[in-house]
Amino acid sequence: MATPFKEEQLAERIGRLRHVALDMDGTIYMGSTLFPYTIGFLEQLTEMGIGYSFLTNNPSRNVGDYLKRLSGMGIPATEQKMYTTSVATINFLRINHPDIKRLFILGTPSMTREFEEAGFISTADSAEDEPDAVVVGFDMTLSYERLCRAAWWISQGKYYLATNPDRVCPTDQPNVLVDCGSICAAIEHAVNRNPDVVIGKPNPEFLQGLAERFDVRPDEMAVIGDRLYTDVAVALNAGAMGVLVLSGETTLEQSQKASPRPHLTVGDISDFGLLLKEYK
């Protein structure tokens, strides 16, 4: 365990927790492999009366697909407990840009279907089918033609949203999964333009939307994840407790060099469970 808190400060912060927002890849599973301590940790939260939800920057699957994936791993979950960047992007557009209806979506069929089911129109890969905005996500079905079309519309000044800033997605396979942030970097290099807004972690609005859903204050929440620049950053930006686990992308050395540092760095979520038993 590593923390900039004194013991009494750590005890006070943990003692007020009412909700835990859990990152997924690298935190409760790695790729297709569920960590052996995950289910026990979730059961502990329930026994202690602490709510929990699953918070992911990965929009490649819609909420229904994520629930099926979790169920297949032995984790029962409801739609209420699942908060993705696709959901947050849809909410952002509805609240801030209600006039935007037509979207050129650089995303998986599952992600595109979620936007269509929310009432948006997905435009075709055609210069004749003009969108109101471009949404770029973690597109695991990315084609060169659609990447070029997205870059074209962005170069023409269309409103440009990115679902998340992640450079890569964690995996237990011998591969590098190029994520949304890297796709946006390619577009920026081509047309010299960054997204107008990046919805997911570390944007504090992402966590604030979740806090409103569960009627808790950000300072009554902990965000647990394996990344400093998304999971920990969104917690610190929103006023929640940022807990870094070393079961995914980040090393202890990187955590100790970070500025600002996570409120707490532990090996994995089971270690955090031990602290809950001690201080809660």
Confidence at residue 182, expressed as pLDDT on a 0 to 100 scale: 97
Answer whether 7-57+201-279 and 95-198 agree in fold.
yes
Q: If you average pLDDT over residues 235-261, what whole number do you get?
A: 94
Q: Where do the H-state alpha helices sit in 157-243?
A: 180-191, 204-214, 233-238
Q: Which residue has the tokens 């949404």?
A: 135
Q: Say yes or no to pLDDT of 170 above 80.
A: no
Architecture category of domain 7-57+201-279 in CATH: 3-Layer(aba) Sandwich (3.40)
**DSSP structural state of residue 50:** -
What is the Cα–Cα distance from 41 to 270, expressed in whole angstroms? 6
Q: Which residue has the tokens 């819609």?
A: 62
Higher pLDDT, 166 or 133: 133
Q: Say yes or no to pLDDT of 161 above 80.
A: yes
SS3 189: helix
What is the Cα–Cα distance from 34 to 130, expressed in whole angstroms? 42
pLDDT digits (tens, 9 = 90+) for 173-189: 899 999 999 999 999 99
Q: Say yes or no to pLDDT of 169 above 90.
A: no
Q: If you average pLDDT over residues 154-158, what whole number do you get?
A: 98
Number of Cα atoms under 13 Å in the Cβ half of residue 172: 12
Confidence at residue 76, expressed as pLDDT on a 0 to 100 scale: 84
Q: Which residue has the tokens 């970070």?
A: 258
Q: What is the largest CA-CA distance in the chain?
A: 63
- Domain over 95-198 is classified CATH 3.30.365.10: no
Q: Say yes or no to pLDDT of 20 above 80.
A: yes
The domains of the chain are located at: 7-57+201-279, 95-198
Q: How many CB atoms lie within 10 A of CB 126?
A: 9
Asked if 228 and 244 count as a contact pair (C-beta separation under 8 A), the reply is yes
What is the Cα–Cα distance from 260 to 4, expressed in whole angstroms? 10
Q: Say yes or no to pLDDT of 9 above 80.
A: yes
Q: pTM for this structure? A: 0.82
Q: If you average pLDDT over residues 206-223, what whole number do you get?
A: 94
Mean pLDDT over the full length of the chain: 94
Confidence at residue 17, expressed as pLDDT on a 0 to 100 scale: 97
Higher pLDDT, 234 or 249: 234
Confidence at residue 280, expressed as pLDDT on a 0 to 100 scale: 77
